[in-house]
Chain A
């Protein structure tokens, strides 16, 4: 699933242009990565167990990290939203039937005298075998 989300984001030319490349990482960005970049990570969910056919409903956090300011982080978040909200994923062995933005967040974080602006959302992804 993570590779599917990465592939979806990395295929977004407007997003990669804004990031200056495929600065998109699963869970953690490599130490020292220059901003801006996008991080996505699995935060919850699991199997539905409602029918014999296996189906999963998972929650993913996808956020932009910027040192320029909340405006840039928000712009990147908008580009992520364009790609993911009610978009389609290609997940090997599974059929994707729902992907949607559920809750937003934005917060600053200070580290080493630098302010990092985090803006993003959680996305619900539902797939079935």
Chain B
């Protein structure tokens, strides 16, 4: 049976601080992780962990728009704002991931002589991800 749930990123929507930054994106990488504490005792045959807080980052990469610099300006380092991702776009009922607070931890640009200029940014999550729908 065909898997009709598989998607490509071509319809992805992403905004930060109310600015749509999805027009020129090439890749968005979301990575969540958690703090683990090793509470293994001497008699344990296997490590045992307890969980603490969650953490995560979102990496953005896209083409630089030299006409408007809209994305470049929106992702200035240490800017904090709401980050929203719609993996399938913004059609009603489609998934919507919202981080009420994310901070731009780093921003960069790659300017090759013979190819398109790209920009990238790494967002540090500073709130939980609310998984809802549009």
Q: Which residues of A contact B (CB under 8 A)?
A: 50-53, 55, 95, 97-98, 100, 126, 128
Contacts and interface: CB of A to CB of B under 8 A. Distances in A.
Contact of B67 (A50, A95, A100): A95
B26 A51 contact: yes
B116 A52 contact: no
B62 interface: yes
A100 to B, nearest CB: 7
A98 B23 CA distance: 20
Interface residues of B, number: 13
Contacts of A52: 10, 12, 22-25
Interface in B63-121: 63, 67, 114-116
A66 to B, nearest CB: 31
Contacts of B25: 51-52
Nearest to B116: A97
User: Interface residues of A: mostly helix, strand, loop or mixed?
Assistant: strand
Nearest to A95: B67
Contacts of A97: 116
A51 B114 contact: no
Contacts of A55: 63, 116
Contacts of B12: 52
A97 B12 CA distance: 25
Interface in B34-75: 62-63, 67
A97 B24 CA distance: 15
A123 to B, nearest CB: 13
**A-B residue pairs, 10 tightest by C-beta:** A51-B26, A51-B24, A53-B24, A53-B23, A50-B26, A52-B23, A51-B63, A51-B25, A51-B62, A52-B22
Nearest to B63: A51
Given A52-B25, A97-B116, 13 more contacts: A51-B23, A51-B24, A52-B12, A52-B23, A53-B23, A53-B24, A55-B63, A95-B67, A98-B114, A98-B115, A98-B116, A128-B63, A128-B116
A55 B115 CA distance: 12
Contacts of A126: 116
Contacts of B63: 50-51, 53, 55, 128
A98 B115 CA distance: 8
B114 to A, nearest CB: 7
A49 to B, nearest CB: 8
